[in-house]
Amino acid sequence: MLEPQLHLSLQCPAPETGFSKITLGHGSGGLLTHRLLEEGVFSLFANPFLDTHDDGAVININGKTAFTTDSFVVSPIFFPGGNIGELAVNGTVNDLTMCGAIPKYISTAFIIEEGLSVDYFWEILLGIKTAAEQAGVQIITGDTKVVEKGKGDQIFITTTGIGEVHPNCNMEAQLIEPGDAIIISGSIANHGMAIMSVREGMEFETDILSDTTSLVGPVSEMMDYSGKSVKIMRDPTRGGVATALNEIAHSANLGIEINEKDIPIKETTHSACEMLGFDPLYVANEGIFLAVVKNDMANNIVSLLKNNPTSRDAAILGKVVDDHHSRVVMNCAMGGRRVVNMLPGDQLPRIC
CB 346 within 8 A of CB 25: yes
Dist. CA 250–CA 301, nearest whole Å? 24
Kindly tell me if the per-residue pLDDT of 4 is higher than 50: yes
Last residue in a domain, options 140, 165, 190? 165
CB 285 within 8 A of CB 189: yes
For residue 56, the model assigns a pLDDT of: 76
Is residue 292 located within the same domain as residue 184? yes
CATH classification at residue 309:
3.90.650.10
Amino acid at 240: G
Which range marks the domain in which residue 200 is found? 173-339
Q: What is the DSSP letter of 307?
A: T
Element holding 44 (H helix, E strand): helix 42-44
Last residue in a domain, options 142, 165, 188? 165
Is residue 127 located within the same domain as residue 276? no
Dist. CA 346–CA 239, nearest whole Å? 8
Average pLDDT value for residue range 227-236: 97
Q: Do the domain assignments include residue 33?
A: no
Q: Do the domain assignments include residue 329?
A: yes
CB 215 within 8 A of CB 292: no
Is residue 157 located within the same domain as residue 184? no
Burial of residue 4 (number of CB atoms within 10 Å: 0-12, 13-18, 19+):
exposed
> How many folded domains does the chain comprise?
2
Peptide bond between residue 76 and the one before it cis (omega within 30 degrees of 0): yes
- Give 255-294 pLDDT, tens digit per residue: 999 999 999 999 999 999 998 889 999 999 999 999 999 9
Q: Do the domain assignments include residue 3?
A: no
Kindly tell me if the per-residue pLDDT of 222 is higher than 50: yes
Is residue 70 located within the same domain as residue 135? yes
Q: Do the domain assignments include residue 25?
A: no
Is residue 128 located within the same domain as residue 219? no
Is residue 153 located within the same domain as residue 187? no
Q: Do the domain assignments include residue 16?
A: no
Q: Do the domain assignments include residue 288?
A: yes
Is residue 180 located within the same domain as residue 286? yes
3-state secondary structure of 141: strand
Least confident of 26-35, 58-67, 169-178, 322-331: 26-35
For the chain, give the percent of residues with pLDDT over 90: 73
Is residue 95 located within the same domain as residue 156? yes
* pTM, entire model: 0.86
CA distances in angstroms from 286 to 45, 190, 310, 351, listed in the order given: 28, 8, 12, 10
CATH classification at residue 86:
3.30.1330.10
Is residue 156 located within the same domain as residue 217? no
Last residue in a domain, options 123, 145, 165? 165
* C-beta atoms surrounding 12 within 10 Å: 8
For residue 276, the model assigns a pLDDT of: 86
Least confident of 23-37, 142-156, 316-330, 333-347: 23-37
Q: Do the domain assignments include residue 226?
A: yes
Is residue 311 located within the same domain as residue 202? yes
Expressed in angstroms, the distance from the first to the final Cα of the chain is 31
Is residue 135 located within the same domain as residue 183? no
3-state SS, one letter per residue, for 229-290:
HEEEEECCCCCHHHHHHHHHHHHHCCEEEEEHHHCCCCHHHHHHHHHHCCCHHHCCCCCCCE
- What does the CA dihedral 50, 283, 235, 78 come to, rounded to 10 degrees? 100
Q: Name the residue with higher pLDDT: 191 or 41.
A: 191
Least confident of 35-49, 101-115, 232-246: 35-49
Sign of dihedral through CA atoms 156, 82, 316, 348? negative
Least confident of 106-110, 187-191, 203-207: 203-207
Q: Do the domain assignments include residue 335?
A: yes
Kindly tell me if the per-residue pLDDT of 10 is higher than 50: no
Dist. CA 206–CA 183, nearest whole Å? 27
Is residue 187 located within the same domain as residue 326? yes
Dist. CA 69–CA 95, nearest whole Å? 9
Dist. CA 127–CA 351, nearest whole Å? 17
